[in-house]
Chains A and B, each alone.
Chain A
Amino acid sequence: MIRTATYLVFFLPLFGWGQLIVEINLKAGNELVELNEPVRLNGYSFQLEQARLYLSKFEFYQNGHLKATDSTLAYLVDLEIDSTRKLIFPVVQGSGIDEIRFLFGIDSLTNTSGAMNGALDPMHGMYWSWQSGYINCKLEGTFTAPERETFQLHLGGYAHPFSGVQRILLKTDKTNVCRLDIDLNALMERVIRTKSELHVMSPGSRAVEYAQLLAKSIELKP
């Protein structure tokens, strides 16, 4: 993947192609969230030990018209692996892309298409074995409010009525580098306040609700 990115950086301009770099960050309000570092917010604190999520089916629009579709089906973003936090897309220079659309998670067609390779290979631990389906987002860690407790959120589900995949549409005025921020604040407040659903490991209404909270928090920043 790194080698491919390098080729893109050096050779694409020769063919009139530029690149759009999207850097993905997990945030808690204004604070950057990193693994194993406590985050303080609203009288509690939490700490992530694992954060992995799928972003898939990127499309690039101008004035509502589809200009390009990314050929990579899905990206597995892993907070532990820096290289996965930067997505590089080849785009036509000066194409004036003003909107990016993608899926937060994996759609039902991909979920029912059998064994896949690359980021979608089941060996990455983002596929349920007891019941078919990709885990769209895996967040594990601890929080203190005031007692220390663990949480494990494996948010997935592709079938009605518990489809957890979220469609994201984001406006952009940049075509080179932008930041995709996913704010965990609303989700973590919900988890910590209720304390009743700290371990979500299967498709269901709670998984959908949590996925929606995350989807609403996604922003594209210059």
Chain B
Amino acid sequence: MKRLELICLMVLLITISFRYTEKLWKKPLDWPEPVYNFKKNPLDSATVQLGRVLFYDPVLSSDSSISCASCHSPYNAFTHVDHALSHGIKDRIGTRNSPVLVNLAWGKSFMWDGAVNHLDMQALAPLENHVEMDETLPHVLQKLAKQEKYRRLFEAAFHSETMTGERFLKAISQFMLTLVSSDSKYDRVLRGENGIQFTEMERKGYALFKEHCASCHTEPLFTNQTFQNNGLAPDSILQDVGRMKITGKSSDSLKFKVPTLRNIERSAPYMHDGRYRSLQMVLFHYSTDIHSSATLAPQLRNGIRLSEDDKRNLIAFLKTLTDNTFLNNKQFQYPRTIK
């Protein structure tokens, strides 16, 4: 009998846990199943909140000047603005444009070259990078342990003040997992909400998008998460070989992860090195400025033929991917109320 009671209790607890996770994170209708295994890190509000506080705290950097949010601002779809390349402590300049943080539960790999294989481990990369936060995980945990606020937040999240690398990383993951963008005009049109329709320009742009862009920027995530050479001429100063740095394969030379286009209106500059400051420049690249090389994506061998009208229509469509519900969500912003 006792055994049965124990099993019932466990089933109840697991059910409650999943329901609670669902409140904090819900798969949008008709979206694929997430890649992230929530069973190994079930979301709860206290842990999400801890992750959020950590995300905005510059104590994560060696001189306490740079937080995750320094390069991933919520107002810019969690990327930075006005910088081609991300910059870290002491004005050190990195080699890549910071990517947006959105819909990460579906991420198969992270960073422009896919160097990070799991969301939980993502935060380690900037934390220990010399030109970003230049810290070490043990030292950050030591600094956090000295703060009463963090002892309280860890206790609330894990029922223990003990700060481990696993808990730290999983808390940041939990916050990042909540950053779901699925309420743009595009989403509302597809859901048929309140009779919302595309304008004529947006409709034409969507048709062009499906013809020329969707093979890589696949809906609904607007990325197929592969690594592609999209015909950017190599930068002679950065000399960034992209995915090849990780795999060592020449067939991966100059390939970078296909970024999502969600909220692209707000996430300039564009490309892995932030070389284009506007969507007009991006479309100029795809239509007339493709650099040919051995690993160039086959779809781009002849460029994409676009008239000026086509470009305007495409940009009109891309702007329908702006999700103001996401961009203005106070739950994602600096946690002013937590002291």
Instruction: Say yes or no: A122 contacts B169, CB within 8 Å.
Output: yes
Whether B119 contacts A123 by the Cβ 8 Å rule is no
Which residues of B are found within 8 Å of A112, using beta-carbon distances? 117-118
Q: Are A117 and B138 in contact (CB under 8 A)?
A: no
Query: Are A115 and B170 interface neighbours, CB within 8 A?
Result: yes
Stretch at the interface among A25-33, A44-52, A127-135, A167-175: A127-135
Q: Are A114 and B119 in contact (CB under 8 A)?
A: yes
Q: Are A121 and B165 in contact (CB under 8 A)?
A: yes
> For residue B164, which residue of chain A has the nearest CB?
A121
Tally A residues with Cβ within 8 Å of B: 20
Contact A123 B115 (CB under 8 A): no
Which residue of chain A is the closest to B122 with respect to CB atoms?
Answer: A132
A198 to chain B, nearest CB (A): 20
Do A123 and B164 touch across chains, with their CB atoms under 8 A apart? Answer: yes
| Interface segment out of the listed B124-132, B250-258, B289-297, B327-335 | B124-132
Residue of B nearest to A123 (CB): B165
Which B residues are CB-close (under 8 A) to A123? 137-138, 141, 164-165
CB distance from B305 to the nearest CB of A (A): 39
Q: Mark A113-143, 1 if CB is under 8 A from B, else 0.
A: 1111100011111010111110000000000
Q: Does B121 contact A (CB under 8 A)?
A: yes
In the complex, how many angstroms separate the beta carbon of B35 from the nearest chain A beta carbon?
11
Q: Contact: A132 with B138, CB < 8 Å? A: no
A115 cross-chain contacts in B, Cβ below 8 A: 41, 118, 120-121, 165-166, 169-170, 173
Is A17 close to B, CB under 8 A? no
A122 contact set on B, CB distance < 8 A: 121, 124, 137, 165-166, 169
A204 to B138, CA, bound (A): 27
Tell me if B246 is interfacial: C-beta within 8 Å of chain A: yes
Does B40 have its Cβ within 8 Å of any Cβ on chain A?
Answer: yes
> Chain A contacts of B124 at CB under 8 A?
122, 127, 129
Q: What would 6 A/B residue contacts be, using CB atoms closer than 8 Å?
A: A112-B118, A115-B165, A115-B170, A117-B164, A121-B164, A122-B124
Q: Beyond A125-B138, A130-B125, list 16 extra A-B contacts (CB 8 Å).
A: A113-B118, A114-B118, A115-B118, A115-B166, A115-B169, A117-B166, A121-B165, A121-B166, A122-B121, A122-B124, A122-B169, A129-B121, A129-B128, A131-B115, A132-B117, A133-B117
- Which residues of chain B from 173 to 222 have any CB-CB distance to chain A below 8 Å in the complex? 173
- B116 in the interface (beta carbon within 8 A): yes
Number of residue pairs A-B, CB distance < 8 angstroms = 67
A125 to B128, CA, bound (A): 11
The winner among A112, A115, A125 for most chain B CB atoms within 10 A is A115
On whether the beta carbons of A130 and B118 are closer than 8 Å, the reply is no
Minimum distance in angstroms from B137 CB to a CB of chain A? 5
Q: How far is the CB of B339 from chain A (nearest CB, A)?
A: 27
A93 within 8 A of B: no
Q: Which residues of B contact A129 (CB under 8 A)?
A: 121, 124-125, 127-129
Which residues of chain A are within 8 angstroms of B165 by Cβ–Cβ distance? 115, 121-124
Residues of A at under 8 Å CB distance from B? 111-117, 121-125, 127, 129-133, 162, 204
CB distance from B3 to the nearest CB of A (A): 20
Shortest 7 CB-CB contacts between residues of A and residues of B: A123-B165, A114-B120, A115-B120, A129-B128, A132-B117, A129-B124, A115-B169
* Known contacts A111-B117, A123-B165, A131 near B137 by CB under 8 Å: no
Provide the residues of chain A in CB contact with B170, threshold 8 Å.
114-115
Task: Indicate whether A130 sits within 8 Å of B40 (C-beta atoms), given known contacts A115-B121, A117-B166, A162-B248.
Answer: no
Residues of B within 8 A of A132 (CB): 115-118, 121
Given contacts A115-B166, A121-B165, contact A130 B129 (CB under 8 A): yes
Q: Would you call B138 and A131 a contact (CB within 8 A)? A: no
A99 CB to closest chain B CB (Å) equals: 32
Contacts of B116 in A (CB 8 A): 131-132
When chains A and B are docked, how far (Å) is the Cα of A204 from the Cα of B165?
A: 27
Residues of B within 8 A of A127 (CB): 121, 124
Chain A residues whose CB sits within 8 angstroms of the CB of B248 once the complex forms: 162, 204
Chain A residues, Cβ within 8 Å of B121: 114-115, 122, 127, 129, 132
Known: A125-B138, A131-B115, A132-B121. Contact between A116 and B128, CB under 8 A? no
- Chain B, range 108-167, C-beta contacts under 8 Å to A: 115-121, 124-125, 127-129, 136-138, 141, 164-166
A158's closest neighbor in chain B, by CB? B117
Smallest CB separation, A107 vs chain B (Å): 13
Of the listed residues A123, A162, A204, the one surrounded by the most CB atoms of chain B closer than 10 A to its CB is: A123
The residues of B that contact A121 with a CB separation of less than 8 Å are 164-166
* A131 CA / B128 CA spacing, docked (Å): 11
Docked-complex contact B169 and A131, CB < 8 angstroms = no
What's the Cα separation between A116 and B246 when bound, in Å?
Answer: 23
B120 touches A130 (CB 8 A): no
A117 to B37, CA, bound (A): 16
Q: Which residues does chain B contribute within 8 Å of A131, judged by CB atoms?
A: 115-116, 246
